[in-house]
């Protein structure tokens, strides 16, 4: 269970304080997925960085299973916007990195590693370095790395943004397969309403600067097979879009 109570985050820049998030309250049950959607600059990445333990200075309570965030002890998979790959390590080494840091032996997950390399379309690229990959390929390496870790909490900041539409849909399904198999609690940031509807059990709408939560929606369509082609999906995405527009214009 992830619990966030009265979270406020302020950045210091040029001797002044800038509020980035204000009075954020939300919960995520173990094994749930949550999509965060909000306009540019409303603090989505800041929220993920707090949960990842990268931002440590904040007001309020942020806990995983009743414990404060301790990245060394908890298994947190974080895919930042720039993918977070090490340029001096090849694809294979980058994928294994997080599991290695958590002392997961290669022999214990070699089958899964091969599986993710195949599923994410990385076969044949294992020896290449990040600088020799496209943005979309780098993004898939970052996804493979996080999936292999089977984290207690998976945080993804626009994880499919560099993928073309077809690949994006395929990789979203790979994510859902991983999520179903391992029940990974997941928070993902997206700019796409359809992505939020397809992948989020809960959808959190952030707005304003500093960012505040304007709505939390329990998604009735989450997990229904082939829902993307269904009229209900189309109608709910239109309704959600309207709701978001109204919130953002306030």
Ligand X SMILES: Nc1ncnc2c1ncn2[C@@H]1O[C@H](COP(=O)(O)OP(=O)(O)OP(=O)(O)O)[C@@H](O)[C@H]1O
Q: Is 13 in the site for ligand X (CB under 6 A)?
A: yes
Site for ligand X in 110-149 (CB under 6 A): none
Site for ligand X in 61-80 (CB under 6 A): none
Q: Is 248 in the site for ligand X (CB under 6 A)?
A: no
Q: Is 18 in the site for ligand X (CB under 6 A)?
A: yes
Name the residue with tokens 């949960």: 51
Reading the block at residue 189, the tokens are: 């940031």
C-beta separation of 75 from 132 below 8 A:
no
The CB-of-69 to ligand X minimum distance in angstroms stands at 17
Q: What distance lies between CA 160 and its chain's CA centroid?
A: 10
Taking the least distance from each CB to ligand X, the nearer of 35 and 120 is: 35
The CB-of-40 to ligand X minimum distance in angstroms stands at 3
The CB-of-229 to ligand X minimum distance in angstroms stands at 29
C-beta separation of 94 from 145 below 8 A:
yes
Exactly one of 2, 4, 7, 20 binds ligand X (CB under 6 A); which one? 20
Q: Is 37 helix (H, G, I), strand (E, B) or coil?
A: strand
Site for ligand X in 33-52 (CB under 6 A): 38, 40-46
The CB-of-143 to ligand X minimum distance in angstroms stands at 18
Q: Is 208 in the site for ligand X (CB under 6 A)?
A: no
Reading the block at residue 110, the tokens are: 């070699």
Say how many residues make up the chain. 250
Q: Is 82 in the site for ligand X (CB under 6 A)?
A: no
The CB-of-161 to ligand X minimum distance in angstroms stands at 10
Taking the least distance from each CB to ligand X, the nearer of 37 and 153 is: 37
φ and ψ of 33, to 5 deg: -115, 150
The CB-of-198 to ligand X minimum distance in angstroms stands at 19
| Dihedral sign of CA atoms 226, 229, 232, 235 in order | positive
φ and ψ of 187, to 5 deg: -125, 125
In sequence order, the 6+-apart residues with CB closer than 8 A to the CB of 158 are 81, 189, 190, 191
CA-to-CA distance for 80 and 103, rounded, in angstroms? 22
Taking the least distance from each CB to ligand X, the nearer of 38 and 200 is: 38
Taking the least distance from each CB to ligand X, the nearer of 53 and 119 is: 53
Interaction site with ligand X (CB under 6 A): 11, 13, 18, 20, 38, 40-46, 209
């Amino acid at each position: 269970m992830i619990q966030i109570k009265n979270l406020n985050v302020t950045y210091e820049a040029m001797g002044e304080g800038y509020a980035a998030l204000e009075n954020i309250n939300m919960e995520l049950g173990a094994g749930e997925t949550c999509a965060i959607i909000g306009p540019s600059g409303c603090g989505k990445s800041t929220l993920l960085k707090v949960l990842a333990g990268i931002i440590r200075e904040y007001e309020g309570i942020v806990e995983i299973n009743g414990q404060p965030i301790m990245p060394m002890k908890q298994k947190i998979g974080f895919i930042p916007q720039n993918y977070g790959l090490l340029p001096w390590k090849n694809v294979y080494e980058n994928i294994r990195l997080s599991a290695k840091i958590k002392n997961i032996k290669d022999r214990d997950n070699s089958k899964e590693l091969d599986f993710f390399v195949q599923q994410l379309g990385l076969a044949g690229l294992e020896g290449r370095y990040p600088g020799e990959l496209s943005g979309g390929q780098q993004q898939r390496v970052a996804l493979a790395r996080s999936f292999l870790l089977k984290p207690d909490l998976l945080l993804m900041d626009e994880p499919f943004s560099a993928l073309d539409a077809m690949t994006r849909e395929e990789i979203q399904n790979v994510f859902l397969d991983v999520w179903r198999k391992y029940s990974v609690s997941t928070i993902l940031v997206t700019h796409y309403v359809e992505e939020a509807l397809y992948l989020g059990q809960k959808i959190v709408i952030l707005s304003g600067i500093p960012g505040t939560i304007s709505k939390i929606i329990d998604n009735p369509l989450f997990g229904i097979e082939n829902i993307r082609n269904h009229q209900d999906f189309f109608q709910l995405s239109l309704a959600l879009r309207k709701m978001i527009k109204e919130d953002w214009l306030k």
